[in-house]
């Protein structure tokens, strides 16, 4: 926990993706209102987050103690099965009669977590709404349905419950579709409740984020999920570094890798990915169990150690075509962080110019680096 969330002893991660109930990287499938098959609970009398008190909530409270600036984005992989068309946590769709109960389900979740000492900074309405998994929790939710759900149910329910400070992010799926976000954000009544759009990295091009920004510049963009795994082979480091640089150059306010702590076999997982790589790798075959940071940890640390919450991206020359992709930020204290990747196999010497001053730097081949300085008149 310290190497993940402490800015002093680790990389100080400041944003976290948190499932509302079970997910593909969970030990089992569950929600907070599971009832016997054939029964329904429209009044949500059985709603409870008690099972999270065993492991989940204590871990989240520890993370918040280590980094009080930590922002938690919570996402349902599935609502309770009784709310869905197929009566299952896997696949299916949200029934119309369940729109109001689902909105209250999300309200109850945010309120319960807040009482437990874990404030929820933002939610999304459905993980990967254009995909119906075959062996793990999920649900299809097309754009017209999400628009109606947000506009007429979830948004008003949050407002009525006094949860206006909890942001609602729409979409939460891949770069290959910008029409989904546009369909919701172009509806003024729905857009009133949406802070912006959330994107994943698994398909499409990162420029989709800029497309949405250009269409709706008053709304935010967040990259909320990307995974590393065995499929990346020798390009794993480069791809993760390009994610950090590319998403933030395309207006994302976050870089989130899915699966903070996994073992060598991608466990725990309940269906879904069995080849995913965690930010931390645990070897539970040893006694006591050992852990080690993976390449993702060091890539994320290039940003999280030097770009603090409240920073703004500032202009930097786009040298991606020259093999030196980069992105720059100015922190609230005036310091500047320049994150770059040398994609070439050989060393590269370049010059940084800022505020009338210049410095030369050599970065080794296939290396990511962060340059950090105070942008003032005196140094």
pLDDT, one tens digit per residue, over 35-61 is 999 999 999 999 999 999 999 999 999
pLDDT of residue 34: 98
Q: Are 93 and 141 in contact (CB under 8 A)?
A: yes
The stretch 326-352 carries a mean pLDDT of 96
The stretch 64-69 carries a mean pLDDT of 97
Torsion of CA 284, 290, 291, 292, to 10 degrees: -120
What is the sign of the dihedral through the CA atoms of 79, 53, 274 and 243? Answer: positive
Catalytic residue among 111, 218, 225, 242: 225
Which residue reads 């001053």 in tokens?
357
- Rounded-to-integer distance, Cα 313 and Cα 29, Å: 39
pLDDT of residue 378: 43
pLDDT tens-digit readout, 278-305: 999 999 889 998 999 999 999 999 999 9
The stretch 108-124 carries a mean pLDDT of 98
- Burial of residue 55 (CB within 10 Å: 0-12, 13-18, 19+) is exposed
Q: Are 306 and 337 in contact (CB under 8 A)?
A: yes
Comparing 176 with 356, the larger pLDDT belongs to 176
pLDDT of residue 274: 87
> For a pLDDT cut of 70, what percent of the chain falls above it?
99
CATH number 3.20.20.70 is the correct assignment for the domain at 2-305: no
Asked if pLDDT for residue 125 goes beyond 70, the answer is yes
CA neighbours closer than 13 Å in the CB half-sphere of residue 91? 5
The stretch 217-245 carries a mean pLDDT of 94
Q: What average pLDDT does the structure give for the chain?
A: 96
pLDDT of residue 160: 98
Catalytic residue among 128, 223, 242, 343: 128
The stretch 126-132 carries a mean pLDDT of 98
- Rounded-to-integer distance, Cα 113 and Cα 277, Å: 28
Q: Which residues, including other chains, have CB under 8 Å from residue 294's CB and lie 6 or more apart?
A: 228, 277, 278, 279, 280, 281
The stretch 121-132 carries a mean pLDDT of 98
Asked if pLDDT for residue 272 goes beyond 50, the answer is yes
pLDDT of residue 265: 86
Q: Are 57 and 172 in contact (CB under 8 A)?
A: no
Asked if pLDDT for residue 379 goes beyond 50, the answer is no
Nearest to 229 by CA among 197, 194, 254, 257: 257
pLDDT of residue 376: 66
Angle between helices 236-249 and 295-304 (to 10 degrees): 30
Domain with CATH 2.60.40.1180 in the chain: 311-379
Region of 211 (left: φ > 0; alpha: ψ -120 to 50; beta: rest) is alpha
- Rounded-to-integer distance, Cα 250 and Cα 134, Å: 32
- Asked, as a colleague might, if the bond just before 288 is cis with ω within 30 of 0, I would say yes
Q: Are 62 and 54 in contact (CB under 8 A)?
A: no
Laid out side by side, the sheet with 261-263 consists of 261-263, 280-283, 290-293
- List Cα–Cα distances, 283 to 141, 228, 270, 328, 373, in angstroms: 38, 18, 19, 36, 38
278-282 long-range contacts (CB < 8 A, ≥24 apart) are 279/4, 280/3, 280/4
Q: How confident is the model at residue 264 (pLDDT cuts 50, 70, 90)?
A: confident
Q: How confident is the model at residue 235 (pLDDT cuts 50, 70, 90)?
A: confident
Asked if pLDDT for residue 28 goes beyond 60, the answer is yes
- What are residue 192's phi and psi, to 5 degrees? -55, -30
Domain with CATH 3.20.20.80 in the chain: 2-305
- Burial of residue 310 (CB within 10 Å: 0-12, 13-18, 19+) is exposed
What is the chain's length?
379
Question: What does the angle CA 332 – CA 335 – CA 337 come to, to the nearest 5 degrees?
Answer: 110
Q: Are 170 and 145 in contact (CB under 8 A)?
A: no
Among this protein's residues, is 140 annotated catalytic?
Answer: no
Among this protein's residues, is 148 annotated catalytic?
Answer: no
- Bridge partners, residue 174, by sequence: 200
311-379: CATH superfamily: Golgi alpha-mannosidase II (2.60.40.1180)
- Asked, as a colleague might, if the bond just before 83 is cis with ω within 30 of 0, I would say no
Asked if pLDDT for residue 377 goes beyond 80, the answer is no
Structure pTM? 0.96
């Amino acid at each position: 926990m310290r190497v993940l969330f402490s800015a002093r002893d680790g990389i100080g991660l400041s944003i976290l993706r948190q499932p509302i109930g079970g997910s593909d990287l969970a030990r089992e499938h569950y929600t907070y209102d599971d009832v016997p098959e054939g029964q329904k609970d429209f009044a949500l009398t059985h709603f409870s987050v008690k099972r999270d008190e065993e492991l989940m909530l204590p871990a989240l409270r520890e993370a918040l103690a280590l980094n009080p600036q930590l922002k938690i984005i919570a996402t349902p992989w599935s609502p309770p099965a009784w709310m869905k068309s197929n009566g299952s946590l896997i696949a299916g769709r949200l029934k119309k009669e369940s729109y109001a109960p689902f909105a209250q389900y999300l309200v109850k979740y945010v309120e319960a977590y807040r009482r437990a000492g874990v404030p929820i900074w933002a939610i999304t309405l459905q993980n990967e709404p254009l995909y119906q998994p075959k062996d793990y929790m999920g649900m299809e939710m097309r754009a017209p349905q999400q628009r109606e759900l947000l506009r007429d149910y979830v948004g008003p329910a949050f407002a009525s419950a006094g949860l206006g400070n909890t942001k609602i992010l729409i979409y939460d799926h891949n770069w290959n579709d910008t029409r989904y976000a546009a369909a919701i954000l172009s509806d003024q009544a729905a857009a009133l409740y949406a802070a912006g759009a959330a994107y994943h990295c698994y398909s499409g091009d990162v420029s989709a984020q800029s497309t949405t920004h250009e269409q709706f510049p008053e709304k935010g963009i967040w990259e909320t999920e990307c995974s590393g795994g065995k499929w990346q082979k020798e390009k794993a480091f480069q791809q993760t570094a390009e994610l950090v640089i590319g998403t933030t150059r395309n207006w994302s306010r976050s870089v989130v890798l899915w699966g903070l702590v996994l073992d060598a076999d991608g466990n725990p997982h309940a269906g879904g990915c069995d080849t995913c790589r965690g930010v931390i790798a645990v070897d539970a075959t040893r006694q006591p169990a050992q852990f080690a940071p993976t390449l993702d940890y060091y890539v994320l640390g290039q940003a999280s150690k030097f770009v603090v919450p409240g920073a703004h991206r500032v202009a930097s020359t786009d040298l991606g075509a020259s093999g030196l992709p980069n992105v720059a930020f100015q922190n609230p204290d005036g310091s500047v962080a320049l994150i770059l990747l040398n994609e070439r196999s050989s060393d590269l010497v370049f010059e940084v110019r800022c505020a009338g001053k210049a410095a030369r730097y050599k970065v080794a081949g296939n290396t990511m680096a962060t340059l950090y300085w105070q942008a003032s008149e005196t140094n």
